[in-house]
Structure 1
Amino acid sequence: MGEPTNDQFKAFRLARGLTQPDLAELVCDYVEQRTGHRPGVDAQAISRIECGEIAWPRRATRQALVALLGSESEAALGLYPKRTKRDADKDEATKRRHFLAAAGLAAPLLGSQPPARVGAVDVDRMRRKFTKLEAMDSEYGGGDTFHLYFTELARTEQILRSSNRRLATANSLIELAAQQAQQAGWAAFDAGFTEVAVALFNYSRSAAREVGSRALEANSLVHIAYATGESESIAAADAACVTLGPGAPGTAVALLQSRRAWSFATVGDMEAAARALDIARASLDDEDDAPSWCAWMNHAELDIMAGRVWSVLHKPERAIPPLRRALAAYPDTWARDKALYLTWLADAYFDAGDPNQAIVATEKAFALAREVSSVRPLARVRETAQRALAVGAAEAGDLARRATTARAPIPLQL
């Protein structure tokens, strides 16, 4: 049986836009500048690392790779000494929990002791329960849902620490924990607690990597970039798509490509954004059994993302139709998302020279935003209201004043 390929390493290389020969040359330059000795690293050596034939390069080469690829550690690049790989796998649970401790997240008090033994039936029950809880994200803001999701994550971790189970069951639990951490992180981000969100996304990424769930790991990468607003969000989105790999569910591909399109749009790359949207749309045409974490992605949601992309690119003729089409079917009970999307529609109306329709859309967004426990809709309403002021739209002053003084019903701390 051959060595497993090092997809983590390859994802980092591709995210930097480097070919194997490019990276080999940079490594040689880096080592030579610091040691005076030029190593014999060539494209074949990089290929052997990616194929898993070289798991632990020389120290100087490892240091160069960590620096050049912007990795936090050798392990993040998938590099381990073979004799300690098993030990490294055992340490993953500790590393995951460190992400939570770093953000000051203490496990909540759980009302019952974990079962002595857990099997596939128990994990399936836990997964079904969490899928139902995920659906609450449509109607409630992160300030309301965070503790629901985080408590489920804490319970899963408690079972992992205390209960007996087979290896396959343990892997299923870790994958569920990755999904729960991702949802809890999203709720924290929605409520305005970015540091907590990033800690949970990192937990999710670590857990997904531990069990080889490339789709969940890829989605964690995109969440981290989205939450932090990193300048390298495109590189992160590219790395996520590489991490996803071939054979992924079409819905997962569509979700990641749509977020990749958004990353391109925010830096004004219209052609790349359009290509990513096309890939997303084509992927949705393939029916598949989507994992619950991306099952919500459908053609209506892709219309929303397409409308947002074209809105931020100032193409109202392409933004308004999909946004109006999708919003027509959006119930007011989905207040947070509907408010957000109405603000993108308002921006598109401003670009189209229709400030009256823009004000109508912004007022609707404001009415929804002030009742939901999320910081994001009100922030967008304020931005749109300021734009209304800038163009001298009627009643813009009153709208801007009300939006500025409004406060979302969010707790001071999670």
Structure 2
Amino acid sequence: MNAARNAALEAWMAEHGHSSNSLAEAVNTALEHLTGRPGGLDGSSVRGWKAGRVRWPKSATRRALEEVSGLPVTDLGFVPRVRTPPTPASPQQEDAMKRRTLVGGIAAAAAAAVAPGNAAPRRIGMSDVERLQERFAGIVASDHRRGGQVDIEQRAAALADEALTLQNVGAATQRVRRNLYAAAAAFCSSAMWAAVDGRRYDVAEGHMRKAQTLAEMSGDQAIKFRIWSHAGTMYRHMGRPADALAANDVARALHITRRDPQFAALGLARQGAIHGAAHEPSNATRAIGQAQDAMLRADPDDHRPMWMLAFWDQAELHALALSAHLSLGDYPTAEFHAHRCLANLRPHMIRSRAITTTRLAHAQLAQGDADTATATAMKVPADAATEHARVSRMLREFTAALRATAPGSVAAQTWAEHTTTWRAAA
């Protein structure tokens, strides 16, 4: 029987102008970002998907497809595998099975009569953890598209609760239990970050405390680093640089930063942004430079967690340097890092592109170039401008600065008309 063609995938490819070869290339790039290793797909792989010969690609490929498309793979026409029904037994086999079932049932009833409970506990394995991680990949992808939204926070928190529920519904090895705690901590950390990104700091602190407890129970150095590093960023956004430095120092003191220069680089880059917020130019410049050196020492083939592969790269380092120099009032250097960040940003980093573009507009306006700054600010998508809390706040500040520095100018009038269209569409 011929396989049914995947009409949903074909329609999505046509809408977005993808050939089989270009989609294969895009997915290979996403696979490299997610796993640290290039993908091996080609046009024939995609043609197999379209023809329906491959109905459910491998898990890493599914994650990469979701990153490229911004959709769950089921929306692209892929169908999870189902178990094949067993072949009907012959009458002789059925008689034998009935006898075994009867004997087994008697034995089970006898065991149940003396056992404290009536049901054997479910066995929890690494496959359960992997299924949670696959769903987590979708949350991470949503965060990069439209970060800070309450629904992303709620989805991440609910996934953490599912991981903790598994701890109590079945038997598991110590390795599986540690991985479940690490997964739950990672999910809580993502809920925390969504709340930080949405400027819901009181809620974020609650997620942080839960994540820190779960991370300690897991013993996982990578997730401990992520949570304390997120805490440092949260306190930086709250205007508490001393607390931010203390939290980030906890992350940087973990031995994973000595084992893997990429973790050291991320910790140093965030330290540079914190020093910028604290108006410490020499410390900020030194930390950013050390972060760049550490990144260059890192082995690109080392295995790293999905959350890190999804965002940490040269573009993010430039984004943190941009934040530092903007806070310091060094606007030409801030503009330099903004352009470098935008040139290196991966396509799925939609939220980061909006933030960087807004910061670039601020740096240009502070140098007296109202026309260029306004043209830059107008590139921010309307949904980010109206729905992302950090972007909305920065654009309100941009409006105030433009009115103060260039009142009655063509740039100010153009910007006022542009923002009116946002409000009308909201």
1:165 alignment partner, one of 167, 172, 175: 172
Residues 303, 139 of structure 1: alpha-carbon distance in 2 compared, 3 angstrom cutoff: same
Residues 304, 354 of structure 1: alpha-carbon distance in 2 compared, 3 angstrom cutoff: same
Residues 186, 405 of structure 1: alpha-carbon distance in 2 compared, 3 angstrom cutoff: farther
Match of 1:396 in 2: 412
Match of 1:240 in 2: 251
Separation in 1 of the partners of 2:259 and 2:202? 30
2:362 alignment partner, one of 347, 354, 362: 347
* TM value normalised by structure 2: 0.62
Residues 244, 313 of structure 1: alpha-carbon distance in 2 compared, 3 angstrom cutoff: farther
Separation in 2 of the partners of 1:386 and 1:148? 35
Alignment of 1:336-375 (within 5 A): 336-365=351-380, 367-370=382-385, 373-375=387-389
Instruction: Give yes or no for contact 2:358–2:394 (8 Å, CA) kept in 1.
Output: yes
Separation in 1 of the partners of 2:424 and 2:142? 18
After superposition, the C-alpha distances for 1:187-209 in whole angstroms (9 at most, x for unaligned) are 12223322221111221111112
Separation in 2 of the partners of 1:321 and 1:294? 25
2:273 alignment partner, one of 239, 259, 262: 262
For residue 159 of structure 1, report the CA deviation from its aligned partner: 0.5
Q: Which has the larger radius of gyration?
A: 2
Letter in 1 for 2:304: A
Instruction: Give yes or no for contact 2:231–2:248 (8 Å, CA) kept in 1.
Output: no
Separation in 2 of the partners of 1:222 and 1:400? 38
Letter in 2 for 1:164: A
Match of 1:215 in 2: 222
Letter in 2 for 1:290: R
Separation in 1 of the partners of 2:289 and 2:126? 38
Instruction: Give yes or no for contact 1:156–1:173 (8 Å, CA) kept in 2.
Output: yes
1:385 alignment partner, one of 399, 405, 414: 399
Alignment of 1:274-353 (within 5 A): 274-285=285-296, 286-287=298-299, 288-295=302-309, 296-328=311-343, 330=345, 334-353=349-368
RMSD (Å) for aligned C-alpha atoms = 2.9
For residue 269 of structure 1, report the CA deviation from its aligned partner: 0.8
After superposition, the C-alpha distances for 1:154-207 in whole angstroms (9 at most, x for unaligned) are 110111122211111101100111111111111122233222211112211111
After superposition, the C-alpha distances for 1:352-380 in whole angstroms (9 at most, x for unaligned) are 33221111122223635235x42111011
Separation in 2 of the partners of 1:293 and 1:334? 13
For residue 343 of structure 1, report the CA deviation from its aligned partner: 1.8
- Does the residue aligned with 1:189 lie in a helix, a strand or coil? helix
Instruction: Give yes or no for contact 1:116–1:164 (8 Å, CA) kept in 2.
Output: yes
- Does the residue aligned with 1:204 lie in a helix, a strand or coil? helix
Match of 1:124 in 2: 130
Separation in 1 of the partners of 2:269 and 2:419? 30
Instruction: Give yes or no for contact 1:339–1:368 (8 Å, CA) kept in 2.
Output: no
Separation in 2 of the partners of 1:262 and 1:381? 20
Residues 122, 363 of structure 1: alpha-carbon distance in 2 compared, 3 angstrom cutoff: same
Separation in 2 of the partners of 1:356 and 1:378? 20
Letter in 1 for 2:412: A
Separation in 2 of the partners of 1:356 and 1:305? 26
| Structure 1 gap segments, 5+ residues each | 1-114
Match of 2:96 in 1: none
Separation in 1 of the partners of 2:359 and 2:400? 14
Separation in 1 of the partners of 2:347 and 2:384? 11
For residue 404 of structure 1, report the CA deviation from its aligned partner: 9.7
1:176 alignment partner, one of 183, 203, 222: 183
Alignment of 1:179-194 (within 5 A): 179-194=186-201
Instruction: Give yes or no for contact 1:185–1:197 (8 Å, CA) kept in 2.
Output: yes
- Does the residue aligned with 1:294 lie in a helix, a strand or coil? helix
- Does the residue aligned with 1:317 lie in a helix, a strand or coil? helix
Separation in 2 of the partners of 1:196 and 1:131? 23
Letter in 1 for 2:363: A
Separation in 1 of the partners of 2:193 and 2:216? 19
After superposition, the C-alpha distances for 1:288-335 in whole angstroms (9 at most, x for unaligned) are 322122112011221222222222222233222231132245478744
Letter in 1 for 2:127: V
Identity %: 24
Residues 189, 356 of structure 1: alpha-carbon distance in 2 compared, 3 angstrom cutoff: same
For residue 344 of structure 1, report the CA deviation from its aligned partner: 1.3
Match of 1:22 in 2: none
Letter in 1 for 2:320: M
Match of 2:147 in 1: 141
Q: More displaced, 145-154 or 390-399?
A: 390-399
Instruction: Give yes or no for contact 1:206–1:217 (8 Å, CA) kept in 2.
Output: no
Instruction: Give yes or no for contact 2:211–2:227 (8 Å, CA) kept in 1.
Output: yes
Instruction: Give yes or no for contact 1:375–1:408 (8 Å, CA) kept in 2.
Output: no
Separation in 2 of the partners of 1:246 and 1:389? 45
Separation in 2 of the partners of 1:211 and 1:331? 31
Instruction: Give yes or no for contact 2:224–2:251 (8 Å, CA) kept in 1.
Output: yes
Instruction: Give yes or no for contact 2:276–2:328 (8 Å, CA) kept in 1.
Output: yes
For residue 260 of structure 1, report the CA deviation from its aligned partner: 1.0
Instruction: Give yes or no for contact 1:178–1:208 (8 Å, CA) kept in 2.
Output: yes
Number of residue equivalences: 295
After superposition, the C-alpha distances for 1:78-130 in whole angstroms (9 at most, x for unaligned) are xxxxxxxxxxxxxxxxxxxxxxxxxxxxxxxxxxxxx8211123223322332
Instruction: Give yes or no for contact 2:354–2:380 (8 Å, CA) kept in 1.
Output: yes
Alignment of 1:11-22 (within 5 A): none
Match of 1:155 in 2: 162
Residues 132, 369 of structure 1: alpha-carbon distance in 2 compared, 3 angstrom cutoff: closer
